[in-house]
Amino acid sequence: MGLMFKVASGIHVTLFRLTGGRIGSAMRGQKIMLLTTTGNKSGKERTVPIMCFEDGGRRFVVASAAGSTQHPAWFKNLEKTPAVKAELRGERYTGQAAVLSGEERDRMYKKISAVAPGFAEYEKKTGGRVIPVVEIKRA
């Protein structure tokens, strides 16, 4: 992750928490979740702001990394330790990350791309990497 992205993410997380989500809880019409994972090497908690999508009472995040050929660090973290913490405006909970696969993943990615078209563009830039869709289930 580049230095500028780390700084911007840190500012976003701080503003979100200081204002109880009044600042930083939405982007491009979508909810923002603060997702806290456990570093797969360091064992330290790592928090990133990420778009959150809801469908049928379920919550999903997308490991797009803006179309990078590599999975984002937060995804690598939850692959090793799927226990996570989630924060949305007015709500905090512990959860379990579950990576979708096959038709379920494809169906959700299509639904997400319909409401957030940038994800369809990211998919074209990945060099063939399948962008993971992750359900964040309440623990």
Residues near 111 by Cβ (< 8 Å), separated by ≥ 6?
Answer: 53, 55
Domain around 115: 3-137
| Whether pLDDT at 93 is above 80 | yes
Note whether 86 and 92 are within 8 A (CB): yes
What's the total number of domains in the chain? 1
**Residue-wise pLDDT tens digits, 6-59:** 898 889 999 999 999 999 998 888 999 999 999 999 999 999 999 999 999 999
* ∠ CA 120-31-83, rounded to 5°: 90
* Whether residue 121 has pLDDT greater than 70: yes
Quote the pTM value: 0.92
| Tokens matching residue 94 | 């512990």
CATH number for 27: 2.30.110.10
